[in-house]
Amino acid sequence: MNGPSTFSAVATILGKDLRVELRTLQSIPAMVLFSTTIYVIFRFGLDRTQLDGGLATGVLLVTILFAALLAINRLFVAEREQGGFEAIRLAPVDGTALFLAKALALLVYLTILELFAIPVFWLFFLDSGTGLLPMLPVVLLLNGALATTGALISPIATNSTARDLIGPLILLPLLVPPMVAASAAGAKLLLAGGPDYDKYASWLGALGLYDAIFLLIGWAVFDFLLED
Amino acid sequence: MNPNRLRTLAIITAALIGAGFALVFFWVPNEADQGFIQKIFYLHVPLAIIALAGFVIGGIHAIRHLRTGDPVHDMRAYVSIHTSVIFGVAVLITGAIWAKASWGRWWVWDEPTLVSFLIVFLLYATYYPLRYAIPDRERQGRYASVFAIAAGAFVPLNFMVVRMAQSLVHPRTFATADGGLPGDMWVGFLVCFAGIAMLWLTLVCFEMTAKRTSAQLSRLRRALDGTARAGGGVGARIAPGTANVPS
Amino acid sequence: MAEPAPEPALRASSLSQAYGESWVLRDVSFELPAGGTLAVIGPNGAGKSTLLQVLATLLRPSSGSVSVLGSELPGSAWKLRGRLGYLGHSPLLYRDLAAAENLRFHARLFGLPAEGAERIADLLERVGLAHRASTRVGEMSAGMVKRLAVCRALLHDPEMLVLDEPLANLDPAGADVVAPLLGPRRGRSRVLVTHDVAAALSGADRVLALTREGSVAFEAPAAEVDPDRARSIYSEESLRGAMA
């Protein structure tokens, strides 16, 4: 039997996820609320009302990272509890389609989160938003890293006996390199005196390389996570 | 592995490490800038290189495990990573001692190699809770292999990014002003390196043998149980987890 | 679509299945000719559902050899994707999607032309859920969910049905609606787990009876099985267990 193309399978699964999210609002509102609360905690934790440079980047990126963990934790719960893993294994569909669809779903969630979280960050902490524009490619590539590693590690965590623990435990060290790269780029971009583009391209390159490598790894090994 | 080969391995390891330390302490001259404390280099650097190599070897076993489905490769991946994590603890301790002696502090953040190593160590430390959290042996092996492959690719990426982010202040023992390590230091280093490499290999072989033996034991025990209880039904069949899963 | 295969629909020899440290199935062997129906009976905990999950390629056999529609498991399990209709205890439906949305999701995953719109409408009509097409699965009764799961399993007109107590959770009316859909058909092999021994003997070609330990009590053509002997596996086993 000929199955659908990988592209069509990805579109089907992604469409299902977005439809369910739109209907149940399980992830995105929680991420938005969570990020705003983290800003408030940073404001008092750091005892600063204005941020710039490395501190500003750190607050923004760590907030995105933590909010992403919320979505990653929930990413495969419906597949496990409502039989999605089995359904996809019975269908003439490549397991890779599930990986790609979930990574894309995470990308969509993160983009929507950032449509709120970045303006709020500007409003709360920054004098001028000029550094935020060149920061966008950095954040988008960081989203890529969060999406690929998240879609790879989340099913492992979901199928373990300690989902909430295993996911963040593995993901946090795994995400150190892209966080390092994005922070290093951002520290220069968000300087109070205006963005400095020193090594900007190298950092984007490093982030892109990380995204590409984890995309390939996910592509290569994801089928093994679906078997039983 | 048969006990004679294990014993030979252990003797070679002990001889190499003994010879290496003897060379380093009694023959190789003290390094000009750092003096005696620099000798920790002959322990710290080989341990770090071997630990990282062990992580990558674990990743290669993991690829073979996923390809063949043979649990023996999973066991090799586990033992390689496990031994490297133990070496990793030693790397961090010796690194801290060296940092204390060189810079007067137990930990320095602007030392990219040590920081990278810490990150790699933290990632591999999650290998254990991951395995414990998956009760089914076959699935546990598969997931652990996926982890080992991702982490194996992570190692070079991590070193690259952390190095990019920081200034280079590591004692560049390999690249001094007059073009590298002097000859006698190289000899000392290589003997120590060979000794530590053999130590890693010996520990891996010991643990593999121990694991095989205990698997065999529980298989025999199960066979006994099986014949006693079910009247010989599945008694002779291979135990799960250690079995050669048909693939 | 379902061309009669020269090889048997199912063949298992010395299949054993382990769950952690304990064996759920022990040394199970059977064969089912193409187009036939195999009924699996046995007391609770005999490993019937596990056996069906193995046959549906959802569980990897621990040892022994199994082939389904000529494909050896687990190596060639991928060849079976899209050819089996599996109906287990879990409906494999998303609670937050409506009935028709769930079926459309599966139709797309199975690559059905035009997203299987006609087929979906037809199946919903036949199980009496046409008026519930836009009701979310989470708001349906267990019986309705079961009927919807039947539609899901039949959507792609599979060559083989793997049915785990297909009539459980259904009231007599629901069972009457569903039974003909799942019944024998030319070119379609079936394996079904049931507790209804009479139905197993009348509706199946072969019967596989499992003991409480997960080994084979007997495996025979349905016509040759004495109903009392079949029923006795439920009591005899507990008796033997008590004596041992």
Q: What's the pLDDT tens digit per position in A205-217?
A: 999 999 999 999 9
Interatomic CA distance for residues B233 and A184, integer angstroms:
64
* Residues C76 and C189 placed together within one structural domain of the fold: yes
Chain B: residue whose CA lies nearest to C75 = B247
Domain membership flag for residue B228: no
Question: What is Dmax (Cα atoms) for chain B?
Answer: 77
Number of domains in chain A: 1
Q: Can you tell me the distance from the alpha carbon of A186 to that of A197, in angstroms, rounded to the nearest whole number?
A: 10
C224 and C200, same domain (yes or no): yes
d(CA A129, CA C72): 62
Contact B233 C215 (CB under 8 A): yes
- Asked if C190 and C165 sit in the same domain, the reply is yes
> In A, residues 84-143, which contact B (CB 8 Å cutoff)?
none
Stretch C55-82: mean pLDDT, rounded? 88
- Comparing A3 with C172, the larger pLDDT belongs to C172
Per the domain annotation, does C70 fall within a domain? Answer: yes
Alpha carbons B232 and C148: distance in angstroms, whole number:
44
Residue C89 domain flag: no
Least Cα distance to B123 among C44, A153, C134, C131 occurs for A153
Residue B245 has pLDDT above 50, yes or no: no
Pairing of strands C22-32, C71-73: unpaired
User: What is residue B176's predicted lDDT score, i.e. its pLDDT?
Assistant: 47
Q: Which residues of A touch C60 (CB under 8 A)?
A: 227-228
CB contact under 8 A, B122 and A173: yes
Residue B15 lies in a domain: yes
For residue B24, name the pLDDT band (cuts at 50, 70, 90).
confident
Are C204 and C192 a contacting pair, CB within 8 Å? yes
Contact check, Cβ <8 Å, C96/A1: no
Q: What does the alpha-carbon distance between residue B195 and residue C44 come to, in Å, rounded to a whole number?
A: 59
Measured between beta carbons, which residues in chain A are less than 8 angstroms from residue C96?
A: 20, 23-24, 78
Structural domain span for residue A26: 6-226
- Chain B residue nearest residue C240, CA to CA: B230
Domain assignment of residue A200, yes or no: yes
Q: Based on the domain organization, do C219 and C166 belong to the same domain?
A: yes
Query: Does the residue A1 lie in any domain?
Result: no
CA distances from A40 to A35, A43, A205, C127 (A): 9, 5, 32, 54
Residue B77, min C-alpha distance to chain C (Å): 21
Kindly list the partner chains of chain B, i.e. chains with 3 or more CB atom pairs below 8 Å.
Answer: A, C
**pLDDT at B172 exceeding the cut of 60:** no
C125 in a domain, yes or no? yes
Does the pLDDT of residue C237 top 60, yes or no? no
Cβ-defined contact of B157 to A210 (cutoff 8 Å): yes
C232 and C116, same structural domain?
A: no
Angstrom distance (rounded) from CA C102 to CA B2: 58
Interchain CB distance below 8 Å, A156 and B143 = yes
- Same domain? C61 vs C19: yes
Would B197 be classed as within a structural domain?
Answer: yes
Cross-chain Cβ contact A87/C109 below 8 Å: yes
What's the rounded mean pLDDT across residues B212-237? Answer: 66
Question: C22 is in which domain, residue-wise?
Answer: 7-83+159-176+185-244
- Token pair listed for B88: 């990793």
Number of domains present in the structure of chain B = 1
Name every chain B residue with its beta carbon within 8 A of the beta carbon of C244.
229
A49 touches chain C (CB under 8 A): no
C88 domain-assigned: no
State the residue for tokens 């187009």: C35
One domain for residues C67 and C116? no
Do A91 and C96 make contact, defined as CB atoms within 8 angstroms? no
Most confident of A18-22, B167-171, C232-236: A18-22
Q: How many domains does chain C have?
A: 2
Taking any CB pair shorter than 8 Å as contact, residues of chain C touching chain A are: 1, 53, 56-60, 74, 81-84, 86, 88, 90-97, 101, 105-106, 108-111, 156
pLDDT of residue C236: 57
Contact C62 B234 (CB under 8 A): no
Whether residue A227 is predicted with pLDDT greater than 90 in this model: the reply is no
- List all residues of chain B from 161 to 180 with a beta carbon under 8 Å from chain A: 161-162, 164-165
* pLDDT tens for each residue of B32-90: 677 777 788 889 999 999 999 999 999 999 999 999 988 899 999 999 999 999 999 99
C60 and C28 belong to one structural domain: yes
Quote the tokens at residue A38.
């983290």
Say whether residue A161 is in contact with chain B using an 8 A CB cutoff. yes
User: What pLDDT, in 10s, does the model give residues C145-185?
Assistant: 999 999 999 999 999 999 999 888 888 988 899 988 998 88
- Residue C201 confidence (pLDDT): 84
Nearest residue of chain B to residue C77 (CA atoms): B247
Instruction: Examine residue C2 and state whether it is found in any structural domain, yes or no.
Output: no
**Quick one: CA torsion of A146, A148, A150, A156, rounded to 10 degrees?**
-160
- Coil, helix or strand at residue A197: coil
In this structure, is residue C1 part of a structural domain?
A: no
Is residue B174 a part of any domain in this protein? yes
Mean pLDDT for chain B overall? 83
Q: Is the model's pLDDT at A34 over the cut of 50? A: yes
Cβ-contact B144, B131 below 8 angstroms? yes
ipTM of the prediction: 0.91
Peptide bond into C74 cis (omega under 30): yes
Segment B164-173 shows an average pLDDT of 60
Angle between helices B112-125 and B71-103 (to 10 degrees): 140
C143 and C236 in a single domain? The answer is no
Give the distance, in angstroms, between the CA of residue C52 and the centroid of all CA atoms in the same chain: 6
Q: Which amino acid is at C7?
A: E
Half-sphere exposure of B244 (CA within 13 A, CB side): 2
Q: At what angle do helices C117-126 and C142-154 cross, to 10 degrees?
A: 140
SS3 C166: coil
Residue A183 domain-assigned? Answer: yes
**Per-residue pLDDT, B185:** 80
* Mean of all residue pLDDT scores within chain C: 86
The length of chain C is: 244
Burial class (CB in 10 A: 0-12, 13-18, 19+), C198: exposed
Per residue, what are the HEC states of A25-75? CCCHHHHHHHHHHHHHHHHHHCCCCCCCHHHHHHHHHHHHHHHHHHHHHHC
The one-character DSSP state at B110 is T
Phi, psi of A175 (to 5 degrees): -95, 5
Range of the domain at B12: 3-219
Q: Which of B127, B2, B142 is nearest to B70 (CA)?
A: B142
DSSP C136: B
Cα distance between residue C14 and residue B234, in whole Å: 9
State the helix-helix crossing angle for A132-158 and B137-165, rounded to 10 degrees: 160
C-alpha distance from B191 to closest chain A C-alpha (Å): 34
Alpha-carbon distance of C5 to A103, in angstroms, equals 40
A159 at interface of B, judged by CB pairs closer than 8 A? yes
CB within 8 Å of B71: residues ≥ 6 apart: B65, B137, B138, B141, B241, B242, B243, B244, B245
Query: Which residues is C41 bridged to in the sheet?
Result: C209
Q: Are residues C213 and C113 in the same domain?
A: no
How far, rounded to the nearest angstrom, does the alpha carbon of residue C19 sit from its chain's CA centroid? Answer: 20
From chain C, pick out residues whose CB is under 8 angstroms from the CB of B233.
Answer: 26-27, 213, 215
SS3 A172: helix
In chain C, which residues have their Cβ closer than 8 Å to the Cβ of B229? 244
Residue pair B142/B66 in contact (Cβ under 8 Å)? The answer is yes
Q: Extract the tokens encoding C119.
A: 């087929």
CA dist., res. B52 & res. C38, Å (int): 55
In a domain, A154, yes or no: yes
Whether residues A228 and C81 touch (CB distance < 8 A) is answered with no
Looking at residue B242, its pLDDT comes to: 41
